[in-house]
Structure 1
């Protein structure tokens, strides 16, 4: 009887070693590039002013996306707001003046972290109130649950039968 040895070579991670590693490294390096929304032409020449602009931009909501800061958004309005922030800073405005100017034009909604004011007391107080109400409800539930008897007590006859079964 002849025995034939069948071998097949399947391309695995080792056979593609260098190419796969290189491709994986390129993907890992280039994938985050789309996350940077600030274009090179928007960057201020002064690093201190640019850092202030980035800080302010991170605090402002993109009115198109509504779940991103203008620093992270690629929307045209976000770009316009980033340029406005940089222009105002270059003109000598303070950070607060820039924020106040943008809030005066777009309203409090443009701030990702709303200011504490009479209009926002509920917004800031609701999480604390809900946490306290939830804790109180949990405490009441736990107290009621431990106070209830689990069933009716055994009669004298049932207790005697139980003692006989257990051998006491």
Structure 2
């Protein structure tokens, strides 16, 4: 025999949202040459949720994103990279990464830039080499994490 139903307890905490992110990195063993499009293609990118890999970029839905671009330069010339919007050669504000010249190819220079941006209609994040010597970059990495939206 079953007894009467007891009182309903308090409502539990809200569940956690599923994280949306993407991470791409160029092959470590060889120098990356951005080539004619001045972009790189990621080997083994990881995509999750509202962030989708497109080979040389990540596309995203509306929301607020934290984006980090990092690279290692073995170039003996200065160089600039940035993260494109959907328009080629149009940088997301705050995304420029400037490299000083390395003293020699074996004296690599590393750098990174992190920025936060709000996307209203969807966008892309594509690392693009924009000036300096094109060759001798390793470990070009792009990480995109959705913070809100």
In the superposition, the TM-score normalised over structure 1's length comes to 0.20
Give the number of the structure whose residues are more often helix, by fraction.
1
TM score, norm. by length of structure 2: 0.22
Task: Identify the structure with bigger relative contact order (alpha carbons < 8 Å, sequence gap 6+).
Answer: 2
